[in-house]
Structure 1
Amino acid sequence: MRKTGLKLTILAVLAIICIALYGLYDIKGSFDYAFPRRMIRVLAMIVTGVAIAYSTVVFQTITHNRILTPSVMGLDSMYMVVQTCIYFFLGSSSILVLNKYFNFTISIAAMVLFALILYRFLFRADKQPIYLLLLIGMVLGTMLGSVTSFMQVVIDPNEYTSLQNKMFASFNNVNGDLVWVAVGILAIAFIYGYTILNKLDVMSLGRDTAINLGINYDRIVMNVLILSSVLIATSTALVGPILFFGLIVANLSYQFFATYKHSVLIVGASLISIIALVGGQFIVEHLFEFSTTLSVIINFIGGVYFIYLLLKESRSAG
């Protein structure tokens, strides 16, 4: 337990260092103008990182697999379908584009509805082979991506240029008001999530064992699916899609802490997320000088890591 506390302390110190560097390094002009705006971006990164980390860890607990994530199951693709449809049918001058609150709300509602329909069929009996679930999720994501690509090909070029801002996660133009809305959603989710941490520890032992120990397994599974969907939808609607980020931070937390306790795994994954996002954005801005985006780097590393985990699972299953 002391060793776990030391590891969490190290991660917390690294996260604070990353935040301090990003907030204070190379401020040009007015400090009173630049610093608050940097901290809004930092807050957006913290909210996004914690939401993705929390939702991925609990999602993998109820699916009993460390490869599946809500994003891999097609939620990010659904976000792009919603945004593309808005630009395709209504145009960039639509109130759904100009009003950030409307866009934020519609994006979250569409992704959560998609997730509920998906989970209603896939997790109904909790007996589907895990690779079948993975295949279905990836097929749905690919199908939605194809629909999005088709619409983007025939859309007006000016509308497509405006739409491109929605296609990649960006922390540079985060709406400060939406960040506080996301903070409120995250706080509500964590209040409920805190009450089921011990139940999640038991559920990680398997369905039959959890039921024998008095857990209302099916109800908790559905509640956790809704919770993870809301968190992923919120983070995606706030900054854009980051496909493999949850996969990376959750598995790093498993390897670093080697424990079943969700109170440790979730906090650890959240701290790793903050370090990766804030530290990564610092490198993108000051080392690469905005020649690339953080989401592109994360998706590249995450894709390679995803293939590694698939091969590792395949070997262990064989």
Structure 2
Amino acid sequence: MVYFSVILLLILIFSFASALSIGAAQLSFSQVFDSVFGLSNDQSSYISSIVWDLRMPRSLLAFVAGCGLALAGLILQKVTRNPLADPYLFGISSGASLGVVTLMSVTSLGFGFYLSIGAFVGSLLAVVMLLVIAGHYGPRQVENMLLAGVALSFLFSAFTSLMLYWSDPQAVTSIMFWTLGSFARADWQTLWIPTTVVSICLVFMFLHQRQLTALLLGDESATTLGINVSRLRINMLLLSSLLTASIVALCGGIGFVGLMIPHIVRYFVTNGSRFSFFVTAFVGGIFMLWVDIGSRIILTNQELPIGIITSAIGSVFFLSLLYLRKRKALD
């Protein structure tokens, strides 16, 4: 585990250095190093401006967003015992997007705290509806939760499109670009919101690691161990909603990260490990850093929305996961 942690840390450092150096204005690692540690001279002040004003907050937001979405997916997969659970597939991201788009359409509020509240209300509505529709955990729990989540996702997307139809035509373009996912609006003033939420949620999950692991054994087994299953499940669903909302409010809709990362991490760290939450968060952050790099370099002089890249990768991953599950069931 120590060697794995060291390797993960080195990959993270390399990923951050790459995110700060790659872009429309290419910088070398030495230039980034000098700028980060205050070794730049007066002639390279523009480099410091690129690094600190543009790329550093963007890279930090990408890392935090990856951490939060990966943790949200891990929470959903644990509390529902559904390996296909993900904030995007369960309609939580769509609910949060609806809350943000509604506020942006009817008010003049900018990106920040108020939109985070709107996103949380939307994601909370999605969780409540999901529990009402598929709240009885029977033998078809996995299928019911997944189908209900997909249906809610389409429902909230329809309402979001309706809000865009009624919005000011001049604002529709910016809102549409935001709904596809982007870190272009990252700044130091709003970065504290998702960073604080992700940090608190990570600590909370670490403190409840044993209860979450016991929940994987089944509700009856967890109850015999003295765990209040209903309260734990509701608390964790609220936590997943809060994580998703804080990220969607700033970054827009980014799908499938919460589905892919926990599955990838399980190849290296078991579910019962007390450090699985931290590893999942770090891998999610590293993944999102490279997705952000790809969004800046795939098209010349253009930025490809983050959600398009993650949806393309996630769709292939999702179909592959379904195929492997079918093969395993037949064997």
For the aligned pair, the TM-score class normalised by the smaller chain equals: 0.7 to 0.9
Normalising by structure 2, report the TM-score: 0.84
CA contact (8 A) 2:120 2:246 kept: yes
Q: Residue 141 and residue 218 in structure 1: after superposition, are their counterparts in 2 closer, same or farther (change >3 A)?
A: same
Contact 1:83 1:163 in 2 (8 A): no
Question: How many angstroms does 1:162 deviate by?
Answer: 2.8
RMSD: 2.3
Distance in 1 between the 2:73 and 2:166 partners? 35
Please tell me whether the aligned partners of residues 51 and 232 of structure 1 are also in contact (alpha carbons under 8 angstroms).
yes
Q: 1:18 aligns with which of 15, 20, 30?
A: 15
The reply on whether 1:201 has 2:210 as its aligned counterpart is no
Gaps of 5+ in 2: 28-43
**1:285 to 2:302 alignment:** no
CA distance in 2, matches of 1:56, 1:232: 9
Equivalent residue, structure 2, for 1:32: 48
Percent of paired sites with the same residue:
23
> Conserved in 1, the CA contact under 8 Å of 2:202 and 2:277?
no
Match of 2:84 in 1: 67
Taking CA–CA contacts closer than 8 Å with sequence separation of 6 or more, which of the two structures ends up with the larger relative contact order? 1
Question: What is the CA distance between 1:251 and its match in structure 2?
Answer: 0.9
Q: Against the structure 1 CA distance between its residues 7 and 142, is the aligned structure 2 distance closer, same or farther, given a 3 Å change threshold?
A: same
Q: Is the Cα–Cα contact under 8 Å of residues 181 and 307 in structure 2 kept in the other structure?
A: yes
- Work out the CA distance in 1 between the residues paired with 2:126 and 2:211: 26
Aligned length: 308
Q: Please say if residues 99 and 121 of structure 2, whose CA atoms lie closer than 8 Å, have aligned partners that are also in contact.
A: no
Q: State the partner residue of 2:261.
A: 249
Give the letter aligned to residue 280 of structure 2: A
Mapped partners of 2:166, 2:243: distance in 1: 32
Matched-pair contact (CA < 8 Å) for 2:79–2:216 = yes
Shift of 1:310: 2.2
Conserved 8 A contact 1:204-1:260: no
TM-score, normalization: structure 1?
A: 0.87
Q: Work out whether residues 79 and 233 of structure 2, in 8 Å CA contact, stay in contact via their aligned partners in 1.
A: yes
Separation in 2, partners of 1:121, 1:283:
38
Matches of 1:177 and 1:269, distance apart in 2: 27
Matches of 2:162 and 2:316 in 1, distance apart? 27
Counterpart CA distance in 2 for 1:299 and 1:262 is: 29
Shift of 1:155: 4.6
C-alpha distance in 1 between matches for 2:326 and 2:306: 30
Judging changes above 3 Å, is the alpha-carbon distance between structure 1 residues 284 and 205 closer, same or farther for their aligned structure 2 residues? same
Decide which moves more: 74-83 or 244-253: 74-83
- Residue 110 of structure 1: CA displacement? 2.5
Residues 163-207 of structure 1: CA distance to partner in whole angstroms, max 9, x if unpaired?
Answer: 223211111221322211222222222232221012212222222
- The amino acid across from 1:58 in the alignment is I
Alignment of 1:76-87 (within 5 A): 76-86=93-103
Inter-CA distance 162–285: structure 2 relative to 1 (3 Å threshold): closer
Contact 1:55 1:232 in 2 (8 A): yes
Whole-angstrom distance in 1 between the partners of 2:298 and 2:98 = 33
Q: Is the 8 A contact 2:100 2:118 kept in 1?
A: no
Q: Any stretches of 5+ residues in structure 1 without a counterpart?
A: none
Could you tell me how far apart the structure 1 residues matched to 2:119 and 2:320 are?
32
What SS does the aligned partner of 1:136 have?
helix
Give the aligned residue type for 2:4: K
Any conservation in 2 of the 1:83–1:166 contact (CA below 8 Å)? no
Q: What residue is the counterpart of 1:260 in the other structure?
A: 271
Task: Indicate yes or no: 2:65 matched with 1:48.
Answer: yes
Query: Which has more helix, going by share of residues?
Result: 1
| 1:100 to 1:283, Cα distance in 2 relative to 1, 3 A | same
